[in-house]
Structure 1
Amino acid sequence: MEFARVCPFCAEALDPQDVFCEACGRNLASAEARGEQPAPAGTPAGPAAEAGPPAGGCVQCGAPQVSADGYCEACGAAQPRPRDHVERELSGVAAVSDRGVRHHRNEDSFAVAATSLPDGRSAQVAVVCDGVSSAARPDEASQTAADNASEALLTALEHGVAPEPAMRQAILTAAAAVAELGRTGRPEVGRNSPACTFVGAVAAGGVVTVGWVGDSRAYWVPDERGAEPYRLTEDDSWASGMVAAGLMSEAEAYADARAHAITGWLGADADDVEPHTVAFTPHVPGVLVICTDGLWNYAEAATDLADLVRPDARQDPLRAARTLVSFAVAAGGHDNITVAVLPVLPDPAAGYTETALDLPVLQNPHQAAPASVAAPAAPAAPPVPPLPPLPPRPPLPPR
């Protein structure tokens, strides 16, 4: 049997004549001659990576000649980039982003923040964005969206805007900022304008509000593992559109090569951006996990992902986020991976019980929000209704 040649550092497929890996830039001849084995892909980059190449030069061979694009001119090794692995924790909310194994750069971005509402209560914010690889400058798109949305959310919440309209406006603000990248930057032949997906969350006053466009997701995972976890978002994707339109069964749609082509995104090439929002009131402690498809591709069902969440996630959200990212890297790391973990406690001032969980209530921007429904007296919660279907939209090429 003939085996394909792959890079010993990043597992990228190689041609027989390759001397340097086009994905990670490593010198294949010298590595094979020395019999070196790579460090596990996705390992936290550490202080050296956060600060860029060390003052002494190449981190692989020590040569001082490192080009402006981040490759050693002596051995060809790619130098660590600040975004290869990023971790952040602030006021109880934490996020971790990793380049993964197969991609040459990290095109995901996130923002975590906290503020105070006008009545003095605290609010935690997390935003995760996934750059569309088939578009130009996807890393810039995701960073621009995360930064602008986070700032818009904090400003609105501090001025007393309710979380749901604040989330909708933040998504539209991020969409406008990403669209501006496409109008002002240098065009790239054969590529769409910068684009990204979006998912964000606000926890304030005992209510969790989630907003999204695209296929980045949010999951609710209760502390008590006997309680049922939920996926709170519905993908803007080709497969979801086909199922919603009744043109395919779920099994047929997700078996198609176009299944993960997104039909909703932020960017100049997007149609009218339609933010989706969902708000719910947890009656038990737990965590909200928001993530890119680099994680959920390996654990799509809410029950599967909940099994991976550490029991102490609410007490140590950064460690929980690290664990989920490490799982995705070990499972193959075929995409960038970004995970934010937002601990949530019930609001005792609202008189909530410790035994029931309100079902998600979708907020339709064209209708008034339904009145809250008291938790049922019976110990068993009613079954979760299916989320309403999203209309199909013209897809971007698969990422």
Structure 2
Amino acid sequence: MAQRLEVSAHTETGRVRAINEDSFLAADPMFFVADGMGGHSFGDRASQAAIAALAARVPAGSDPSPDDVREAVASANYAVRDLSEPEDRGAARAGTTLTGVARVATDTGPHWMVVNIGDSRVYSWDGRALEQVTVDHSAVQELLDTGAITPEQAMYHPERNVITRALGADDIVEPDVWVLPATGTRTFMICSDGLTKELSDQLIASILAGDVIFGDEPEGSIAPQLVEAADVAGGHDNITVIVLSVHADRTTTNGDANDADDAEGDTDDTIERPSQPALR
């Protein structure tokens, strides 16, 4: 079944930071956000290097395999590590998060491959519910996983900015990977933590649904609205959002329409791979 993609992407520095350390890639088949590690050397250069490496290894219009995407992530890690001098090894060094979605070709057909390193996030939106797909690599997430703190406490925890995995930290990086069927209609929202630390899931869902409008952006420019909402809420960090909407093109015959409906509801083929190696 043919699919039509709609993409909205936007980034802003925010109201507190002096420079924007976020970068993004939003060109089919790669939709990724990188958030340079604040307080580390070359945070902006790290995110830019990671995105440039992804774009070089998987060009726009290509048809990558899952292994191609993993190799691109490895290449991005090398690019970030190359920014640090040898004497920086073991000390604070260039680093960045990386999260996003890639359209990949597999033996069983096209799939969506969700990749995550760090605490930027990928969400799924079905028009009714907003669901976080990725799991943060952060000190606070580890405390949440053990039940040591509540989600409410996590919002104000002193280690809420400490991440436990990033590009540039080690020679080999292992992203979390989820492979989802490319069937039916779905929307992904990919963002840096500058969005999620300012806005609740409920408000994000209301903006995605069109129930709450921010700014004077034209209809369909949903990413700028989300970014502006986070900026108005405080803008304490850089804010980057990509909204990728995937629409199934359906024919008018009853048989094809029924097939499309069946495919849209079929999630049994989802493959979860929780820990596989791997412009703006």
Counterpart CA distance in 2 for 1:240 and 1:299 is 18
Partner of residue 85, structure 1: none
1:221 counterpart = 2:125: yes
1:104 counterpart = 2:18: yes
Cα distance change, pair 165–304 in 1 and its aligned pair in 2 (3 A): farther
2:58 match: secondary structure: helix
Cα distance change, pair 280–347 in 1 and its aligned pair in 2 (3 A): farther
Partner of residue 67, structure 2: 165
Partner of residue 118, structure 1: none
Determine which of 138, 150, 161 is the counterpart of 1:260: 161
Cα distance change, pair 109–213 in 1 and its aligned pair in 2 (3 A): same
Larger relative contact order, structure 1 or 2 (CA cutoff 8 Å, min sep 6) = 2
Counterpart CA distance in 2 for 1:366 and 1:275 is 6
Preserved CA contact (<8 Å) 1:148 1:174: yes
* Higher deviation after alignment, 343-352 or 291-300: 343-352
Partner of residue 214, structure 2: none
Partner of residue 141, structure 1: 46
Preserved CA contact (<8 Å) 2:30 2:103: yes
Aligned-pair CA distance for 1:206: 5.9
Aligned-pair CA distance for 1:283: 5.0
Cα distance change, pair 133–365 in 1 and its aligned pair in 2 (3 A): closer
Preserved CA contact (<8 Å) 2:174 2:276: no
Cα distance change, pair 330–202 in 1 and its aligned pair in 2 (3 A): same
Determine which of 245, 248, 261 is the counterpart of 1:353: 261
- The residue identity in structure 2 corresponding to 1:102 is V
Preserved CA contact (<8 Å) 1:138 1:195: yes
Partner of residue 215, structure 2: none
Aligned-pair CA distance for 1:294: 0.6
1:207 counterpart = 2:117: no
1:215 match: secondary structure: coil
Aligned-pair CA distance for 1:333: 0.5
Counterpart CA distance in 1 for 2:27 and 2:21 is 21
Preserved CA contact (<8 Å) 1:167 1:210: no
1:319 counterpart = 2:204: no
1:181 match: secondary structure: coil
Preserved CA contact (<8 Å) 1:94 1:317: no
Cα distance change, pair 272–250 in 1 and its aligned pair in 2 (3 A): farther
How many aligned residue pairs are there?
255
- The residue identity in structure 2 corresponding to 1:142 is S
Aligned-pair CA distance for 1:256: 2.5
Identity %: 27
Counterpart CA distance in 2 for 1:161 and 1:229 is 28
Counterpart CA distance in 1 for 2:192 and 2:207 is 16
Partner of residue 237, structure 1: 138
> CA deviation digits over 1:305-354, x for unaligned, max 9?
22221549xxx896111111111111110000111121212376894416
- The residue identity in structure 2 corresponding to 1:307 is S
Counterpart CA distance in 1 for 2:6 and 2:197 is 26
Determine which of 218, 232, 255 is the counterpart of 1:330: 232
| TM norm structure 1 | 0.56
Cα distance change, pair 237–142 in 1 and its aligned pair in 2 (3 A): same
Q: Runs of 5+ in structure 2 lacking a partner?
A: 212-217, 251-255
Deviating beyond 6 angstroms after TM superposition, the runs of 4 or more aligned structure 1 residues are none
Determine which of 276, 292, 308 is the counterpart of 2:207: 308
Counterpart CA distance in 2 for 1:206 and 1:324 is 29
Counterpart CA distance in 1 for 2:276 and 2:162 is 27
> In the TM superposition, what are the counterparts of 1:277-316 in structure 2 within 5 Å?
277-281=177-181, 283-301=183-201, 303-311=202-210
Larger radius of gyration: 1
> CA deviation digits over 1:171-203, x for unaligned, max 9?
11111110111137x96xxx7111110012123
Partner of residue 49, structure 1: none
1:103 match: secondary structure: coil
Counterpart CA distance in 1 for 2:80 and 2:219 is 29
2:221 match: secondary structure: helix
Preserved CA contact (<8 Å) 1:212 1:276: yes
Cα distance change, pair 239–308 in 1 and its aligned pair in 2 (3 A): same
1:176 match: secondary structure: helix
Higher strand share: 2
* Higher deviation after alignment, 172-181 or 280-289: 280-289
Cα distance change, pair 294–154 in 1 and its aligned pair in 2 (3 A): same
